[in-house]
């Protein structure tokens, strides 16, 4: 049976470079909202309706006709949306001049421009979801991958009385 002990309160995540963020958990609605927001922003880029800088990427991109570039941009946009929707506090994020940077949706997106921070953040944010998925449920397959380990629940069936035309009887040893 799956556990329903999904986190409901914000938790501190330790990220690279001495950064810590207090983030709300990502639930189904935030997960889908992040994916939708990323798709919308990517569509605006592809249609020439916005530049990479305008949608919060902070830099110009190579040609978006390369599917690997598009996939990378999509992942960044999803990480930024997760950060925008969930980060409520942080430590170790300096602004220009060394003062602590204020938490805001835009500054959370800028934080995700660091690949190591973005990867760690997304991995930790999604870890409760992954843990529930890894638990499986009561009808998980046997460890060997076959159903031979399962208990029999039906009586042994009698062999058929007739064979299909043109077939030879099966002999068992």
Which tens digit of pLDDT belongs to each residue from 144-167? 555 555 555 556 665 555 555 565
* Mean pLDDT of all residues belonging to the chain: 80
Alpha helices in the chain (DSSP H): 28-46, 67-86, 105-111, 115-135
Instruction: Retrieve residue 70's tokens.
Output: 């598009």
Instruction: Retrieve residue 37's tokens.
Output: 């927001």
Percent of the chain with pLDDT over 90: 44
pLDDT tens digits, residue range 73-115?
899 999 999 999 999 999 999 877 778 889 999 999 999 999 9
Kindly list the distances between the CA atom of residue 59 and the CA atoms of 9, 69, 113, in Å, as whole numbers in the listed order: 34, 13, 10
pLDDT of residue 60 exceeding 60, the answer is yes
pLDDT confidence of residue 135 = 66
pLDDT tens digits, residue range 9-45?
999 999 999 999 999 999 889 999 999 999 999 898 8
């Amino acid at each position: 049976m799956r556990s329903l002990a999904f986190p409901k309160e914000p938790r501190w995540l330790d990220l690279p470079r001495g950064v810590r963020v207090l983030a709300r958990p990502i639930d189904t609605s935030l997960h889908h909202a992040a994916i939708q927001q990323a798709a919308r922003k990517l569509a605006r880029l592809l249609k020439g309706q916005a530049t990479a800088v305008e949608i919060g990427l902070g830099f110009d991109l190579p040609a978006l006709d390369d599917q690997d570039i598009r996939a990378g941009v999509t992942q960044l946009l999803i990480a930024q949306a997760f950060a925008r929707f969930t980060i409520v506090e942080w430590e170790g994020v300096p602004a220009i001049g060394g003062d602590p940077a204020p938490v805001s949706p835009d500054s959370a997106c800028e934080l995700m421009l660091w690949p190591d921070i973005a990867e760690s953040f997304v991995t930790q944010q999604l870890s409760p979801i992954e843990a529930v998925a890894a638990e499986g449920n009561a009808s998980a397959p046997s460890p060997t991958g076959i159903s031979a380990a399962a208990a029999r629940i039906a009586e042994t069936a009698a062999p058929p009385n007739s064979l299909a035309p043109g077939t030879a009887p099966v002999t068992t040893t």
